Structure 1
Amino acid sequence: MVCLVESARGTIIRLTKLSDTSLIILWMSEEEGLLKTVAKGARRPKSAFAGRLDLFVDAGFQWSRSRSSDLHGLREVAVTDYREPLRGNYRDSVVAAYFGQLLEMVLELNHAEPEIFALLQRGLAYLTEEGGSRKAVLHFEKEVARLLGLGDGAQRGILNAYGKLPASREHCLDLFI
């Protein structure tokens, strides 16, 4: 059986422990949209993935597509931006995590959304350079709603279409009071 290896560029928006040694990585990529990969052995000290898998990291990566599930096998990661300033600030990390949670809620897996990928890149760059703000959160929501064709009322449009917003939204906005 031939195992086809595919390549993409993306940003890690969620990490989940799968086992004592493995992680599930949720990527937002230009080519595939939301993509889940499994990094077997990634939690081992001498893993080939050591130091490469962290929240908001931008990287080129290779994976093998699974025929039977939405979890694909991660093969290789080449980090292009660690976004250390973003991860070093609690408030900005909370806002960035909210951006990822919102996208996870409104997007389908394995469906390319290049405009939303570009929005996430701009949003994370803004947080890295300028820091988080209430205005940045509301603007991101408004742009997501616009790109999804939900109209101009971001919060209302997303609520009407999906029935809720991520639970972390309230905490995120409370940081700016």
Structure 2
Amino acid sequence: MEKTEAILIGRMKYSETTLIVQWCSAEQGLFRTIAKGALRPKSAFAGLLDLFVTADIRYTPARKSDLHTLVEAHWLNPRLGMRSNYGRVLAATYLVKLMALVVEPHAPLPAIYELLTKALDFLNERDPSRAFMERFELRLAEDLGLVGPQGARGSEAAYAIEDSFHRRLPVQRKQLMTWMEQHPG
């Protein structure tokens, strides 16, 4: 049995009662678990497996695949303030998708996990801004070694990530920029 603190960054329905849940942990990196029976009304997971929640989890490692079995989850930080508006959820979704674009599954990522935790905690309290988004992109690019501490400005860091990994930036970036223009500070 493994135990870790992790942020729930994705979930999808596997069957009528079961979810596949994607997590981000400092020690384990990105990994997936199956939460059997999570959608049953009396499930031990009822109401716990929500996006952007930080939880202490226990899981049984898979022997032949990368889909582990979730055994237990307890909230550490539910980030309920994030649900106050669409912009916060959109920003969190963009940050998670950008991070997932550039990290390898099951690779420890303590600096990136800390960066994501701080960003989600910020969004729990405040609406996103262009400066916030670009600061996250810059710190992520620095952590990946793509730019130096003063090596990029503005959205240059995002495009350095795009160029280095040969993958388009998540569509949520453009959606977030539009939302921020429509909802200034």
- Using the size of structure 2 for normalisation, the TM-score is 0.90
Letter in 2 for 1:157: A
Aligned partner of 1:79 among 75, 78, 95: 75
Aligned partner of 1:144 among 127, 140, 147: 140
Determine whether 1:156 maps to 2:159: yes
d(CA) in 2 for partners of 1:69 and 1:89?
37
Q: Which residue number corresponds to residue 27 of structure 2?
A: 31
Q: Give SS of 1:159's match.
A: helix
d(CA) in 1 for partners of 2:84 and 2:38?
22
- Structure 2: state its 5+ residue gaps: none
* 1:87-102 to 2 correspondences below 5 Å: 87-102=83-98
Q: Which residue number corresponds to residue 65 of structure 1?
A: 61
d(CA) in 2 for partners of 1:123 and 1:97?
11
Deviation at 1:88, TM superposition (A): 2.5
Over the residues paired in the alignment, what is the CA RMSD in angstroms?
1.1
d(CA) in 1 for partners of 2:85 and 2:119?
15
Deviation at 1:155, TM superposition (A): 1.6
- Using the size of structure 1 for normalisation, the TM-score is 0.94
Provide, for residues 2-54 of structure 1, a one-character-per-residue CA deviation record: whole Å limited to 9, x for no partner. Answer: xxx00000111111111111111111111111111110110111111001100
d(CA) in 2 for partners of 1:18 and 1:162?
30
Letter in 1 for 2:122: Y
Q: Give SS of 2:71's match.
A: strand
Aligned partner of 1:124 among 120, 124, 138: 120
